[in-house]
Structure 1
């Protein structure tokens, strides 16, 4: 028998009995031990299902078979125990949550004999039950109320049923974090904010322990107690937007936050805007606009700061403008403005544009003018100005007393100042100006002199003094009706104008050819002339194709020299104010390039309006750029603006679009560009339309329409072509109009050169253009409508190359200067009414001699005339000018004319030395009315080269001395021959004098002051010996002392005159030597026939024709010489005791300076000059009138 326990019962199985007892078995009886009243048995065959048992009880079952007889013996099973409910689980924990508790447990020690099928968790006293799977060891009991305490039990469940409850847990209160606080608000203040709130709607089931205030940005957390309802957050940044979040914390933790609307802390104001400054007299008025934001706090004031001084002024909140006084006008200033509120002072505004205050007016003080008869008067005056600003000065004279003042003529001087940019001081700076009174008011007995001064655009101050004028004495300098010439020591190529020694007079800095590291400097004298040229070593290579620019970059009153060089950079030589320059500073940029035309790719202007000049330059690759001034004269880096198409582009400055800012015109081969500035620097580039070729250019209002026009000059096809581009006032130009074409012999690569200025004082811009074909300066007179009338051609030396303009004589009118490469000189033509409006006067004939041929007291000129110069005629002098009389044919070309009285009448006669191999000399007898008649020819016995006349034998009759050339045995002999006069126009046969082997001249003069004429005969010999023959008074001579000039010189001309007023004749030699410029030797006569050299003076020309005469009528003889190779005449004024002043040189047309004569040609009491070439049809003559 077997028994199998089951839930609530058992299943029994057995085998039928082996014997039925003779009666069929009718059933079976099943019993249990212990017996149960509830026992129920369900039989089915030999099995039974027993129920009604108790779980967990151990039972033994017995079965007995039953038949009709009864129950047989019982068979018992083994004991079996029925399955039970599980034991009680072990409760491990109960953890609270939000309206829930999480319960954890351990499975029971007994599963009751059947697998646990689940667990049942019960919350007490709520009775909330939660089922869990058999595998679970925890469960969450939800549906609880936060803050309401509960205990929890767990029972296990198996097939039998629910087991026992675990022991109850400790009391657990469900809870969560608090909800967000309510009514969170924030109020910002200065670097802090106050945050307020109300308690949360839910504390989460537990009391709130604290509140947390979080600040973003920054993450700062402030903790406040449970009772707090506000907090103050400090240490915040000004003007920063913050978010303030408040959370509540309980035992569970920190709840969600509630944020106030974003709040911005109070800030300093924003920067004021639109800061502008306007200069006043030593002041500036600054205006501004209020800041766009006040930072949340009302503005309480503004601070205006001055830069670079750092001074400041505070003004009230309502002001938007303030005037700052006591600003020295010697520099520019910028201004910034900042606003202040309760928080503090805000950001500084952008700086205003630089403004230079207007200077205080200058005062002219202590004016004195001496009342003497000097031809030039030294005017002394004092200039007082608060900031020491330099002032331009005007000196005027009213000679008639009618109040009509005229500018005076400035005399050249190295000891006096000019009128440009004169120094001032608060105490008064003294100055001296040399007035050429003899030119301006030669006959006035009284005059009023006025000195006026002005600084910039301020009002002009004047002081006037009245003076009595004694009769004018001799002139202190001579002024001729032609251009002044100054030699340059080198081949000049280009130049620039500036007052490099700060003496108030314009100077010239000249670039020479070939390329060199030295400049040629010519310091201006103030009268259109210059001091002797000198070389100045720069220590830096200067291309001959470079045209420098002079500008004061560092504001010290001394211009710097600025040029673009071939090594693709910019060079700046700082001016020292004494006519010298400091070491060159280089600014490198771009690429190197060679351009055969003149390169002036530099312009200087205050492009950014900060009060200091900046530099625009064209690099070697044609790129235009700016180098901004750093405020101390140094320049910043090269800032490219655009490609101008040519490394040889020239830059010219003007306000092309009429906005008050300096613009650029960049023009080269093929293209031109207008580069327009906006006050911060060039900002817009536009091309000038049309085909473009230029070698030089000028900007100005040539058609008087108020707009800037462009004139270009280009060399092409042996012409110089001048074109006009009319400006439209917007930076644009019309198509080109050809305004002039000048025939020239230049080649395409030879650059044209021009200057534009009002040269004749009529208010219209004129043009001056060099013409190399005939070595002239062509003037074209502006008509004011963009057209030009042909003007005179002025002599311009040999091979004029460069033209520029400037006020070289300080009279307020532009002058024009040309540089000549072949004659190595500078020529200045003074501008003004009547000065450059007519060509140089031409004189009569070519060879000259002078005398009074009609007895009217005026000196006349006898000249060679006619196409072949084979006629001789007299031009009568006097107030009407030279008046030619009929000429007389002399048979051949004239070589020399000598005026003498060879017959018994009172009329002057003329000895004509012919320029032929004829061994005769012509004689023209005077008729006493200015006409001549042929006389008998003379036969000196050879070809005459030179003649002189005088009473050699003391018989009262004029004798003639000739230097002759005679052929003998294939040699030519130079001889001196004497022809004694008979007083009737005839002469005794010639006598050969023993005058050396190679005489070159023969001059008569009483060397020993004994009343008899002696003879001075220079020799063409080694050592340049001069032989002296002492006259006996009977027509014979004895040898006197010889004079040796030196072995390194060559004699050109010789004249005798008493230069030192000691009663003895002195000698003036014109000499030159290898490597030695032409010079004048002054030899003092001792009275014994001997001479001692006492002075050597540069002739400033290749002196060929020499004259010694009191040209300026000061009582001392002066020296004049014609310079044929340089087309000029030099005047060296005698200043007493045989001393000569430096040469003044005046220009004439080419080949006109061979022969020279001196006379008063127009009867004005001033001596004038006649010059001629002696070349017939191909020669030129000139009449230079003294002004």
Structure 2
């Protein structure tokens, strides 16, 4: 049975409320922390970690949704408090977690299930934004598979088999007091996004079909567009592309009218596209796209120059078309990327994870990044962290210790750590590591090494915990950035110990 603290659960209009930290759940309801840590080493039970963070479960501890994959934060109901939206691929719900405060200042979350099951079978991405420009936030869910029949191709004949991917929007209710009512949200499809994909729905978010989602105003018309990574067997050779869905405005969003277009790219792509990210690489005022193609023979990290602003210069041919440029090549494969100014020179850099290489590297953005047919000039590359025994999974980049510099937070097969350039000789050397938790000791599992789930034998837990998403936000509004992490444990059934975890920064 799932290990629990002595929670006294309050009910808010039928929704479970989980208490966090040492705070009250609701007026008159409390959490008993009197025996914390007694014969127990699970960080979810004790709240203790190996650093200056405390841990608490956001989703209701007694409700066993399984397989958390994604989490995003926004103030959904306009009360000034950050709320969360999460997606889970085993139990298959998309959930909203509304933050509230008690009369004594305690923090609680009301959890509501927004959607799930068919068509929300396998989620590959999640975003929150105002897509129909009505002043209310909406939820975008990138679905790798829906189990719906007859998916399409963009510009070729439909293959006979494959995944049926889709982007669904849940448009926020006009009345913000109805945010906690699932049916007050309006479900609409992103037109032309019902597309065939390769692979199977059990292969994980980064493999097959849709694998990544990014949101931004690509054409500078004031509406938010969507860019995805798409793998399909459409056409004679398949489609391995970054695809843009152009938003035509509020009424068009509500009647599902979006325009799909593949980003042109004449260079070899290998067998898959894995990630897309948005940022103004050439600093001309529009958003460009960075994409990864893990096994491409060259430039497996590349960028696409957006022609929305097409300023003539020495680094590009200005012809009003999308152009492709190299970022670099990681010989062991390039998987997931984040865009941030690592060295604080005012130019975006690209941070990349190589799963096979067990390495996090960053590419320094140049003053003049080139695109074809101008000469390909790879960016300078530096190693931030190299892993010996474990494979890095999720990572996020923000200022975690309020020193004005970005830190990198990485999960690696049950371990969660952050890396600080201040402890290295320079930002260009390998960064200093601080361990937050280790949820699965290597090998048979020495209970003296790290906290693990008390109800799962060490040998069953080792090698089984996955943290697919790390979100860095100041959840409690105290001025220090916290971490929200999806924890997917696979010991025993793999269904009873998963959690959405808040690591509260006490520094």
What band does the TM-score fall into relative to the shorter chain? 0.5 to 0.7
Please show how residues 849-868 of structure 1 align to structure 2 within 5 Å: 849-864=127-142, 866-868=146-148
Q: Does the Cα contact within 8 Å between 2:410 and 2:417 map onto a contact in 1?
A: yes
Tell me how far apart the structure 1 counterparts of residues 340 and 276 of structure 2 sit (CA, whole Å): 13
Q: Does the Cα contact within 8 Å between 1:1118 and 1:1131 map onto a contact in 2?
A: no
Cα displacement (A) at 1:1006? 0.6
Matched, 1:1133 2:497: no
Matched, 1:1026 2:367: no
Given the alignment, which residue of 20, 26, 40 partners 1:440?
26
Task: Identify the residue that residue 258 of structure 2 maps to in structure 1.
Answer: 933
Please show how residues 215-230 of structure 1 align to structure 2 within 5 Å: none
Structure 1 residues 984 and 888, CA, compared in 2 at 3 Å: closer, same or farther?
farther
Cα displacement (A) at 1:1054? 1.6
Pair member with larger Rg: 1
CA RMSD of aligned residues (A): 4.2
Matched, 1:956 2:285: yes
Task: Identify the residue that residue 190 of structure 2 maps to in structure 1.
Answer: 887
Q: Does the Cα contact within 8 Å between 1:505 and 1:524 map onto a contact in 2?
A: no
Structure 1 residues 435 and 1132, CA, compared in 2 at 3 Å: closer, same or farther?
closer
Q: Does the Cα contact within 8 Å between 1:862 and 1:874 map onto a contact in 2?
A: yes
For residues 603-636 of structure 1, what are the alpha-carbon distances to aligned partners after superposition, in whole Å with 9 as ceiling and x for unaligned?
xxxxxxxxxxxxxxxxxxxxxxxxxxxxxxxxxx
Q: Does the Cα contact within 8 Å between 1:954 and 1:1033 map onto a contact in 2?
A: no
Structure 1 residues 1089 and 1130, CA, compared in 2 at 3 Å: closer, same or farther?
farther
Please show how residues 114-153 of structure 1 align to structure 2 within 5 Å: none
Tell me how far apart the structure 2 counterparts of residues 871 and 902 of structure 1 sit (CA, whole Å): 20
Matched, 1:918 2:254: no
Structure 1 residues 974 and 1039, CA, compared in 2 at 3 Å: closer, same or farther?
closer
Tell me how far apart the structure 1 counterparts of residues 18 and 339 of structure 2 sit (CA, whole Å): 41
Given the alignment, which residue of 1075, 1083, 1098 partners 2:438?
1098
**SS at the partner of 1:1133?**
strand
Gaps of 5+ in 2: 1-7, 9-16, 50-60, 68-107, 149-163, 180-184, 198-209, 233-237, 311-319, 371-377, 440-451, 453-464
**SS at the partner of 2:239?**
coil
Given the alignment, which residue of 146, 162, 167 partners 1:872?
167
Tell me how far apart the structure 2 counterparts of residues 1113 and 987 of structure 1 sit (CA, whole Å): 44
Tell me how far apart the structure 1 counterparts of residues 23 and 48 of structure 2 sit (CA, whole Å): 24
Tell me how far apart the structure 1 counterparts of residues 127 and 19 of structure 2 sit (CA, whole Å): 31
Tell me how far apart the structure 2 counterparts of residues 925 and 980 of structure 1 sit (CA, whole Å): 16
Task: Identify the residue that residue 1005 of structure 1 maps to in structure 2.
Answer: 340
Q: Does the Cα contact within 8 Å between 2:327 and 2:363 map onto a contact in 1?
A: no
Task: Identify the residue that residue 1041 of structure 1 maps to in structure 2.
Answer: 382
Tell me how far apart the structure 1 counterparts of residues 291 and 281 of structure 2 sit (CA, whole Å): 13
Cα displacement (A) at 1:948? 0.8
Please show how residues 200-211 of structure 1 align to structure 2 within 5 Å: none
Given the alignment, which residue of 37, 40, 43 partners 1:522?
40
- Provide TM-score, normalisation by structure 1: 0.25
**SS at the partner of 1:907?**
coil
Q: Does the Cα contact within 8 Å between 1:794 and 1:839 map onto a contact in 2?
A: no
Cα displacement (A) at 1:1015? 1.2
Cα displacement (A) at 1:1041? 3.3
**SS at the partner of 1:530?**
helix
Structure 1 residues 1007 and 938, CA, compared in 2 at 3 Å: closer, same or farther?
same
For residues 7-63 of structure 1, what are the alpha-carbon distances to aligned partners after superposition, in whole Å with 9 as ceiling and x for unaligned?
xxxxxxxxxxxxxxxxxxxxxxxxxxxxxxxxxxxxxxxxxxxxxxxxxxxxxxxxx
Cα displacement (A) at 1:980? 0.9
**SS at the partner of 2:412?**
strand
Q: Does the Cα contact within 8 Å between 2:302 and 2:325 map onto a contact in 1?
A: yes
Task: Identify the residue that residue 1015 of structure 1 maps to in structure 2.
Answer: 350
Residues matched between the structures, number:
334
For residues 445-486 of structure 1, what are the alpha-carbon distances to aligned partners after superposition, in whole Å with 9 as ceiling and x for unaligned?
xxxx9x9xxxxxxxxxxxxxxxxxxxxxxxxx9x9xxxxxxx
For residues 535-556 of structure 1, what are the alpha-carbon distances to aligned partners after superposition, in whole Å with 9 as ceiling and x for unaligned?
xxxxxxxxxxxxxxxxxxxxxx
Task: Identify the residue that residue 416 of structure 2 maps to in structure 1.
Answer: 1080
Matched, 1:848 2:126: yes
Matched, 1:988 2:257: no
Please, which moves more after superposition, 974-983 or 956-965?
974-983
Q: Which structure shows the bigger proportion of residues in strand conformation? A: 1
Q: Does the Cα contact within 8 Å between 2:36 and 2:46 map onto a contact in 1?
A: no
Tell me how far apart the structure 1 counterparts of residues 42 and 466 of structure 2 sit (CA, whole Å): 23
Tell me how far apart the structure 2 counterparts of residues 1053 and 1080 of structure 1 sit (CA, whole Å): 9
